[in-house]
Amino acid sequence: MPLRTAKDTYRKTHVKMAEERAQKNPGATGKGTATAGGKSFEVADGAVLIAAITSCTNTSNPPCSWPPGCWRAMPQAGLTAKPWVKTSLAPGSRVVTDYLKAANLLGDLESVGFYLVGYGCTTCIGNSGPLRPEISDAVKAAT
């Protein structure tokens, strides 16, 4: 899908999903509530639940990866992962971890929620593991 059509495609898909859910379960709202870290929050249709920096995001090739200045700017801007988002950092090799350490970037990534979980393929092939039970329950309640 061309990037220029992503927003419109998302909106149309979101509407269609809500219509299909209403037909299957008229009482479903598309929203569920979860509690984590003593705080309650709403998990709604379209919410991002998994965010990963993996080997396929070019972590193994520093010139092609996200510019280090962007990674450093995330914590400086106060960005953090929402409590319902499962985050992970799974670069292609230990050498990438060495790059990140040498550039003093590993701490920046950790401060916004991206901790090293392993090396290689994870999220896309289902190796991210399950969502936390309270998040999974909120998603089920929404449908």
Class for the domain spanning 3-142: alpha beta
Q: Where are the domains of the chain?
A: 3-142
Return all residues near 56 (Cβ < 8 A) that are at least 6 apart.
121, 124
Contact 138, 32 (CB under 8 A): yes
pLDDT tens digits, residue range 30-48? Answer: 888 998 878 898 988 888 8
| Intervals of the chain under pLDDT 50 | none
Cα–Cα dist 109/116, whole Å: 9
User: Which of 58, 51, 64, 59 lies closest to 123 in space, CA to CA?
Assistant: 51
What pLDDT, on a 0 to 100 scale, did the predictor assign at position 57?
58
Contact 65, 58 (CB under 8 A): yes
> Tokens for 136?
């999974």
Cα–Cα dist 127/132, whole Å: 14
